[in-house]
Amino acid sequence: MSAWLATLPQRFLGAEDRFSCRYRVSVGPVTRDVIVTSGGCRVEPPSGTPDAAIVTDAGTWGAIDSGTLSAIEAFSQRRLSVRGSIEKAVRFEPFFEREDGGGFRYHLAGIDVGDAKLSAVVAGDPGAEPLVLVHGLGATKASWLLAAPALARDYRVIAIDLPGFGSSSKPRGRYDAPWFAERIFPVLDHYEYESAHFAGNSMGGRIIMEMAMMRPDRVKAVACLCPAAAFSRRRALPLVRVAIPELAAVAARLPRARLRMVLRQLFADPNRLEPDWLDAVMDDFLRLWRRPAARIAFACAARSTYLDEPLGDGGFWTRLHDMKTPALYLYGEADPVISSRFAGRVERTLPNAEVLVWEDCGHVPQVEWPERTATAMLDFFARQARVTAAPMHRMGPPRPKQWAQ
């Protein structure tokens, strides 16, 4: 085991400028620090405080080393745990050359979209149809990692950090759905895709609906997981209207216990969460929260989402009625953020949409039920592909709505 770790410097492929991270890697009883910088890589006995810790057993490390398994797959199967930072842990594997044994393979990309540079995890066959994954408010691309291996079997998966979040740059802007959409379309241009499938959770769901309304020619189908929608009832509306996002620049303190409580409430059963995963998510969030630009972006996005106009000529629900893009909507009955009652409104607004309501699900289906969520998305996209390919005279009626567990 120590020999496997000792060979890492010889297989090091390089890191971006100014990158520096101390990884603490524990494989069975052996623990070593792997220091990765833009200047090289070295392995040494553990010392100090690591930026990220990766813990697994010898069998799992051997499978990762041989390329038959990826660390993300091992993580989703609970064969590998991460502490300190999921973002930095995800970077570890692509730093090193390894055999291709058929496991999930991915890389991290930086995508220029004008006034921002987006960070993305990219995986799957480069020749497959693209599927862009968009996270919710306060989250990052890491919220899609558990579902990504299953989705990448059929699609070229591009899981992005929205501008203002995660490792993407944090420009000044409106941070509303059209603003985000204008910065995601260039992702397609970057990879020379005319169109793509999109999936979004919470605020991400609202953004991809906006994209379908703005440019239906570039959006093949959307899967909206507990999507944020323009709210008709806003009890704190006066306070939010006068809120100044820049005030978030000085609101640096966020108690860890409070954050843990909020995150656990997002799930129907918090005990399904791996404790190390929750700790690593909190570490990443709090690390970003210390940056004024990240707090301002969060506040701007929260305010824009909350103040999204529901009705009227330019209102969200008025415009959504005319959306023709095939759409899947998935809601959780235990969601404390987006009520599953929105499912009924979606059915009335979009009679041809497919709607699922899961009784045992909270606000983040792709984390709480990654395999089930990936299966629902893949089935939906596959059906839409068959409908598109079928001659018009063979097209049947829309598939009936599903209210299922």
**pLDDT digits 0-9 by tens, 316-367:** 999 999 999 999 999 999 999 999 999 999 999 999 999 999 999 999 999 9
Is 399 a residue whose pLDDT tops 90?
no
DSSP 8-state symbol, 96: B
- Would you say 276 and 83 are in contact if contact means Cβ atoms under 8 Å apart? yes
**pLDDT digits 0-9 by tens, 138-153:** 999 999 999 999 999 9
What are the start-end ranges of the H helices in 141-291?
148-151, 177-190, 203-214, 237-242, 256-264, 275-289
Average of per-residue pLDDT across 193-213? 98
Is 233 a residue whose pLDDT tops 60?
no
**pLDDT digits 0-9 by tens, 31-48:** 999 999 999 999 999 999
Q: Residue 331 has which token pair?
A: 């809601």
Query: Quick one: what percent of the chain has pLDDT higher than 70?
Result: 90
| Distance in angstroms (rounded) separating the CA atoms of residues 93 and 105 | 9
- Would you say 296 and 249 are in contact if contact means Cβ atoms under 8 Å apart? yes
Q: What pLDDT was estimated at residue 396?
A: 41
Is 102 a residue whose pLDDT tops 90?
no
**pLDDT digits 0-9 by tens, 280-308:** 889 999 999 999 999 999 999 998 998 88
